[in-house]
Structure 1
């Protein structure tokens, strides 16, 4: 299993813990942890060469 997949599993686990959290502070804490794990997974994919650096990506224009 790739390292980034393990990070995504950790993010999913944190989201599950957030759903079962006993209060708002715990909910927010688990959500922030999930965001951190997701960011690590994205970074690992970049380090592994699975995604292009931002400068090499085509810009996508968003229209209202």
Structure 2
């Protein structure tokens, strides 16, 4: 199993825990944890060469009239 798949499983577990949370702070905490695990999975896919890096576009300055 790839490392990114393990990270995605962790994210899914956090979402399940969020569904059963007994309060808004706990719910939000698990939601943030799921987002963090998902971000780690995506970064690991990039590190493993599974997805290409995305070049950021610089905003173009408008010419003054």
TM-score normalized by the length of structure 2: 0.84
Structure 1 vs Structure 2 CA RMSD: 0.3
Distance in structure 1 (CA, Å) of the matches to 2:6 and 2:46: 15
The size of the alignment, in residue pairs, is 55
Give the secondary-structure state (helix, strand or coil) at the position aligned to 1:17.
helix
* In structure 2, C-alpha distance between the alignment counterparts of 1:35 and 1:53, rounded to whole Å: 20
Unaligned runs of 5+ in 2: 56-65
Q: Where do 1:26-45 residues align within 5 Å?
A: 26-45=26-45
Question: Which residue number corresponds to residue 20 of structure 2?
Answer: 20
Instruction: Pick the structure with greater CA Rg.
Output: 2
Structure 1 runs not aligned, ≥5 long:
56-64
Return the offset for 1:49. 0.1
How far apart are residue 22 of structure 1 and its match?
A: 0.4
